[in-house]
Amino acid sequence: MTEKEELESMCKRRGYIWQSSEIYGGEAGFYDYGHLGSQLLDNWKREWKNYFLSLDDNYHLIQTPNIHPYRVLDASGHVDHFSDVMVRCEQCGSSFRGDHLIEEETGESAEWMDKEEIGGKIKELGLSCPDCGGPFSDPEDFNMMFGLDLGPTGEKKGFLRPETAQSVYINFRREFRALRKKMPLGLATIGSAFRNEISPRQGVFRMREFRQAEMQIFFVPEIHEEIFEERYEMIKDTKVKVKRVDQDEAVEIKLGEIEDLPPFYLYHLGKMYEFYTKVMGLSFEEVRFRELSEDEKAFYNKIHFDLEIDLDTLGGWEEISGLHYRSDYDLKQHQEESNTKLSIPTEEGRKIPHVIELSFGVDRNVWALLDRGFKNGDRTWLDLPVKLTPRQVAVFPLVRKDGLPEKSRDIYESLNRDFRAHWEKSGSIGKRYARNDEVGTRYCVTVDYDTMEDDSVTIRDIETTEQIRVPVNDLTMILRRLIEREKSFEQYMEEQD
RNA sequence: GCGGCUGUGGUCUAGACUGGUUAGGACCCAAGCUUCCCAAGCUUGUGGCCCGGGUUCAAAUCCCGGCAGCCGCACCA
């Protein structure tokens, strides 16, 4: 089996993640998280919130519906731009994007054209199927958004949102007032988004329903730049790995050495990098930022880097998150379409705030954790940071007799109040270690015959399989220190020698 | 969405070409025995031919349709 198959098998067998509706044969583009996956997902969200909301006093979380009325997505440009005009070859059945066919022929952009215009232009140019030369059918709209009829008459139209960002923009005005007009203002949200992908593949990387965690930061560049500059100064020696659009390889560089990007952008780039190395526990080498070319990036993004992680299961660097400078495009659009003033008063008159967006694919982040953590050599184990892992500690009896199971159960119950704990007694001790290695249980506490004598237990570290012996009374304190990284397992080991 | 390949207990698979005993194995899981630290062993047990239709005395096996997965193309503002 390939690495990917091994990991998928583990995820199904042990309760992380699998295809949705599987007893009915499944449906492409939908996945369910089991008891472990769901816990990992929750933990990731919690750590994400802890990290990004604490970047500034004025960064906050909001919660919004998955459904937008038609006008929101019309204003944002999704009704026009998120759809493509497709034409189908009547002879061989292949389908193509109409605007692309025209662009190839004329060399000019045809993205602005609607269904009728594209149909007319194709006839005018006498285009035929590039595959077989057959004639084209009439063009049809294909929109990546799931449309909805709202209410009993079905006359009101809406969509499942294709991104969470718009939910935040339409709440800017309310929150700006509620938060007493302080700027910069950061509004984060974690929620689901929906895209009717033509052919979803690559597991959780292209789903029809997926989760996003986004931090939208509103600011007026010429006024608030200073604030970010100060923060940037503090981290400008931070090293990151960046692949610019004109480079073949990512290079290691200090933030301060990147001269053509504004401090507010570099500051957040540095902070995102830090999230991946410090919170998600990835090594510097496994993460990079890649700048998107003009062709790749959306027209409203002035600066766009994707954060990519080198994944074994997907064969290389994959987009996990993004940092987008969206300028004032979004608020301007909504101001115009809603006839609501979204500019803010400044000493230099009213200004429409700009947005820098920190955007994270939650499912992709979770999969990246599983991919990078999955070790399948001599021993199979899952290396998840202790703050993120679904099981922080497991408690076992060494053997199933002489009161050890009961003792271990007592210890488990006391630990379960403070940690994500687990208890089991079936099989042999080795088997229990192996089972817990596979799902990423960080520490295994074993009750043995010494425990019955002197009330001490062993703690085993998943990474090294080494053990330390500690008093039961100190267990909670020691585990807490290990989890909070106040003291490392190695330090405890040294103390014992 | 197009083309190719594939679909057997929870997982991985044998069987299919050449239709015919009770669909076999390994691992996992559960219960028990055993066991003083890294998937030991023994006993017992649960559980399966992707779905629907057709051909046939008889279908996991052949045919048609659907669904899903993988690969290629296309798509991924």
Helix (H, G, I), strand (E, B) or coil at A304: strand
Position A255, amino acid: L
CA A43/CA A387 separation, integer angstroms: 7
Query: How far: A471 CA to B27 C1' (Å)?
Result: 37
Closest nucleotide to A434 by C1' from CA? B39
Q: Mean of the pLDDT values across residues A37-49?
A: 97
User: How far apart, in Å, do the first and last CA atoms of chain A sit?
Assistant: 42
Residue A119 structure tokens: 């149909």
Establish whether the CB of A20 is closer than 7 Å to any nucleic acid atom in strand B: no
Coarse DSSP helix, strand, coil percentages of chain A, rounded to the nearest 5 percent: 40, 25, 35
Phi-psi region of A452 (alpha: psi -120 to 50; beta: other; left: phi over 0): alpha
Reported as a single tens digit per residue, the pLDDT across A273-283 is 999 999 999 99
E-state strands within A35-155: 59-61, 67-69, 83-88, 95-97, 140-143, 147-150
Find and list the nucleotides of strand B having atoms within 7 Å of a protein beta carbon.
1-3, 7, 10-13, 28-41, 50-51, 66-77
Q: pLDDT band at residue A126, thresholds of 50, 70 and 90?
A: confident
Residue A105 has pLDDT above 90, yes or no: no
pLDDT score recorded for residue A112: 73
Residues 268-307 of A with CB under 7 A from strand B: 298-299
Establish whether the CB of A26 is closer than 7 Å to any nucleic acid atom in strand B: yes
Q: pLDDT band at residue A96, thresholds of 50, 70 and 90?
A: confident
Closest nucleotide to A28 by C1' from CA? B68
Is residue A404 within 8 A of residue A397, CB to CB? The reply is yes
Handedness of CA A368, A372, A377, A379 (dihedral sign): negative
What topology does CATH give the domain A391-496?
Rossmann fold (3.40.50)
Least confident of A76-85, A189-198, A359-368: A76-85
Residue A370 has pLDDT above 90, yes or no: yes
Residues 70-89 of A with CB under 7 A from strand B: 77-78, 81-82, 84
| Bridge partners, A291 (sequence order) | A305
Residue A80 has pLDDT above 90, yes or no: no
Residue A107 has pLDDT above 80, yes or no: no
pLDDT score recorded for residue A299: 85
Q: How far is CA A302 from the centre of its chain?
A: 22
Establish whether the CB of A420 is closer than 7 Å to any nucleic acid atom in strand B: no
What topology does CATH give the domain A3-64+164-374?
BirA Bifunctional Protein; domain 2 (3.30.930)
- CA geometry: angle at A15 spanning A13 and A20, to 5°? 95
**Those residues with Cβ within 8 angstroms of residue A294's Cβ, 6 or more apart along the chain or in another chain:** none
Question: What mean pLDDT value characterizes chain A?
Answer: 92
pLDDT score recorded for residue A130: 73
pLDDT score recorded for residue A284: 94
Q: Mean of the pLDDT values across residues A263-276?
A: 97
Q: Mean of the pLDDT values across residues A10-34?
A: 92
pLDDT score recorded for residue A84: 77
The residue length of chain A stands at 497
Residue A233 has pLDDT above 80, yes or no: yes
Q: Give the helix ranges, DSSP H, for A345-472.
A: 362-373, 404-415, 429-439, 449-454
Is residue A249 within 8 A of residue A241, CB to CB? The reply is no
Residue A383 has pLDDT above 90, yes or no: yes
pLDDT score recorded for residue A240: 96
pLDDT score recorded for residue A489: 97
- CA geometry: angle at A427 spanning A422 and A429, to 5°? 70
Closest nucleotide to A446 by C1' from CA? B37
Q: Mean of the pLDDT values across residues A461-466?
A: 96
Residue A9 has pLDDT above 80, yes or no: yes
CA A244/CA A237 separation, integer angstroms: 19
Residue A402 structure tokens: 């002489």
Establish whether the CB of A430 is closer than 7 Å to any nucleic acid atom in strand B: yes
Q: Mean of the pLDDT values across residues A387-394?
A: 97
Q: pLDDT band at residue A496, thresholds of 50, 70 and 90?
A: confident
pLDDT score recorded for residue A152: 86
Q: pLDDT band at residue A326, thresholds of 50, 70 and 90?
A: very high
Is residue A78 within 8 A of residue A145, CB to CB? The reply is yes
Establish whether the CB of A473 is closer than 7 Å to any nucleic acid atom in strand B: no
Tell me A339's DSSP state. T
Is residue A288 within 8 A of residue A241, CB to CB? The reply is yes
Position A319, amino acid: E
Establish whether the CB of A135 is closer than 7 Å to any nucleic acid atom in strand B: no
Least confident of A124-133, A193-202, A241-250, A325-334: A124-133
Q: Greatest CA separation found in chain A?
A: 92
CATH number of the A83-143 domain: 3.30.40.230
pLDDT score recorded for residue A92: 67
Q: Give the residue among A256, A353, A356 at the shortest CA–CA distance from A305.
A: A356
Closest nucleotide to A397 by C1' from CA? B37
Residues 151-190 of A with CB under 7 A from strand B: 162-163, 165
Query: How far: A426 CA to B43 C1' (Å)?
Result: 16
Reported as a single tens digit per residue, the pLDDT across A288-300 is 999 999 888 888 8
Establish whether the CB of A206 is closer than 7 Å to any nucleic acid atom in strand B: yes
Closest nucleotide to A298 by C1' from CA? B77
Handedness of CA A29, A35, A36, A41 (dihedral sign): positive
Q: Give the CA radius of gyration of chain A.
A: 27
Higher per-residue confidence, A238 vs A88: A238
Query: How far: A39 CA to B48 C1' (Å)?
Result: 30
pLDDT score recorded for residue A256: 96
Residue A75's alpha-carbon distances to A69, A144, A409, A411, in angstroms, are: 11, 16, 59, 58
Contacts 24+ apart (CB under 8 A), A300-309: A300/A77, A300/A326, A300/A327, A300/A329, A300/A330, A301/A325, A301/A326, A302/A326, A302/A327, A303/A261, A303/A265, A305/A242, A305/A269, A307/A272, A307/A273, A307/A276, A309/A276, A309/A282, A309/A368, A309/A371, A309/A372
Query: How far: A138 CA to B74 C1' (Å)?
Result: 18
Query: How far: A46 CA to B18 C1' (Å)?
Result: 60
pLDDT score recorded for residue A17: 94
Query: How far: A12 CA to B20 C1' (Å)?
Result: 37
Sketch the domain layout of chain A as residue ranges.
Answer: 3-64+164-374, 83-143, 391-496
